[in-house]
Amino acid sequence: MKKILSVSLGSASRDHTTQHTFLGQECELSRKGTDADFEKALEMYRQYDGVVDAFGVGGLEFYLGVGKRRYYFREGRRIRAAVRVSKIGDGNGVKAPLVKRALDALEKRLNEEGRTLSGMKGLKTNAVDRYSMAEALANAGCDMVYGDLMFSLGLPIPVRRLATVRLLAAVLLPVITQLPFKLFYPLGSAQDREPEPRWEQYYQEADLLAGDFVSIRAHMPHDLSGKIVLTNTTTARNVEELQQRGLHLLVTTTPRLEGRSFGTNVMEATLLALMEKPQSQVTPADFLDLIERIPLEPNLEVLN
């Protein structure tokens, strides 16, 4: 059995373990949160290095890819240095193809309702995080607001063009990536707090809310009637919460396994574990091949 462990800086309340068969290979997928304790996370990486086939990096990424540039996190480098034997993935290797499949499924569903993504108003909480999603939504014709300055820095300034996002990234990310990740993203118990509605104008104007679910949830309003959420990791409790708020469609880029859609870091780690080659030899084509052969389908749920 292949063992995949996601070590997350997020809340331990979101921990989950399941078993699933991919292409005839039994896999055990686990997520363990450290409640924002970075040193504890490092210790877990060292403890399970060589014990598990592959690690997923949760609550942090090695780098943010914006346009053609990569901005590496100092904390991500420390994690990468701690793992010497097991394979390790932060999700960057699979985000783009999984987003494409999710948007194709969403477009098909919208067409059944007599709608389309083209011209739809959207809010993406952060464009520098999952830039491939921001770019894909723009290419699909969505009328987007990017909330990087609002959701990460608390500044009431919406961004409406990807060119502006790239400029802000070039100016701010070389500094931000050298600071503790928890300064800009809810970690640990902060992920369990009740949502505190903020930036309501932009939530209400949008038909589509996209991005990391922790970020979307942090400030979502009580009423989400008729809206669509395009995101990644959601628990059964998250789904119930969204249903109670009137959400119409929930789309996750990863499949739901036993009530839980795991993050892209877990999916990348799983694919790495299934590959019979050193990680240094893995190419984007290898990821795409496995995604299509399994296949790794997005999850689309009509909640209301």
pLDDT by residue for the chain (304 residues), tens digit each?
999 999 998 888 888 899 999 999 999 999 999 998 999 999 999 999 999 999 999 888 999 999 999 999 999 999 999 999 999 999 999 999 999 999 999 999 999 999 999 999 999 999 998 999 999 999 999 999 999 999 988 999 999 999 999 999 999 999 999 988 777 776 766 677 889 999 999 999 999 999 999 899 999 999 999 999 999 888 889 999 999 999 999 999 998 887 677 789 999 999 999 999 999 999 999 999 999 999 999 999 999 9
Distances (CA, A) of 4 to 50, 198, 250, 268: 11, 36, 26, 10
Buried residues in 18-37 as b, exposed as e (16+ CB within 10 A): eeeebeeeebbbbbbbbbbe
Whether pTM > 0.85 for this model: the answer is: yes
- Cα separation of 38 and 223, whole Å? 35
Structural domains in the chain?
2-91+262-299 (3.40.50), 95-256 (3.40.50)
Q: Compute how many other C-beta atoms are within 10 angstroms of the C-beta atom of residue 74.
A: 11
At 271, the amino acid letter reads L
According to DSSP, the residues that pair with 88 across neighbouring strands are 55
